[in-house]
Amino acid sequence: MKLPRLFYKADLLILPVIVLCAFVIGLLPHRTKGTVAVIAVGGSTVAVIDLQQEQQALSVMGAEGFLFSVQNGSISVIQSPCDGKDCCHMPPIAAQGQWIFCLPMQLSVTVITEDQIPSATPDAVIG
C-alpha cells in the first residue's frame, strides 16, 4: 500500500512562515504586573514602594507635598504641589513599565519588579 505524502515541496514554504508567526506572537509585549514602584525626583530615587502593602495616603521623604495611594497592587498620585495636577488625574498604574510623571516637579513614579530595583539600594544593613 502506498502511503500518502505528508508534504509537498510547496508546503515546506509555509513552515518558516508558521515558525516566524509563532515567534512574533510570542514576543508581543506581555503586561506583567509590577511589584514595586520607584519614586524619583530629579532622576534620583527617593523611595521604593511595595505595591502589596495598601496605603491610603502615603507621604514620601524627598517628595514633599505629594501623596500617593497604593490599592490593589497599583499606585496613583492623589495630591501634588504642582499647579496643573495632571499627575493626580492619571489612572492608577500596576503593570511593569507603566509610569506617572509630574513635569513641573520632576517627579516620576515607575512600576517595576523587585529584580529591577536599582542596585544602589543596599541589599542589607548590618550593625
Give the separation between CA 113 and CA 23, rounded to whole angstroms.
Answer: 24
User: CB-wise, 91 or 126, nearer to other proteins?
Assistant: 126
**Which helix (H) or strand (E) covers residue 36, if one does?**
strand 36-41
Q: What minimum distance in Å lies between the beta carbon of 25 and other proteins? A: 6
Minimum Å gap between C-beta 113 and other proteins is 8
Residues sharing a CB contact under 8 Å with residue 25, sequence separation 6 or more, in sequence order? none
Positions that interact with other proteins (CB under 8 A): 4-6, 11, 14-15, 18-19, 21-23, 25-26, 30, 35, 44-45, 114-116, 118-127
Report the alpha-carbon distance of residue 110 to residue 39 in Å, rounded. Answer: 7
Smallest gap from Cβ 26 to other proteins, in A, equals 3
